[in-house]
Amino acid sequence: MDQIRPSQRQDAHRRDIVELGIVLQQQSGTVSAVEFLRSQDIAAPVIERVLGEPQRRRSSSV
């Protein structure tokens, strides 16, 4: 049986939301991206990591 590492994404829908937030940051700025991700119930540490520390982002299609 395959095991999922604790740091591995478990929800493709939430991954897509985060990727949309990254695109929104590029197009409309960080404040808009933060507001969007908060409205989608993305955890604050995740928002901080993906928007504030791009070098720590996981691989994505963006």
- Looking at residue 62, what is its pLDDT? 46
CA distance 36 to 13: 15
CA distance 12 to 14: 6
Q: Give residue-wise pLDDT tens across range 1-58.
A: 455 555 555 688 999 999 999 999 999 999 999 999 999 999 999 999 999 987 777 6
- Looking at residue 56, what is its pLDDT? 73
What pTM was computed for the model? 0.74
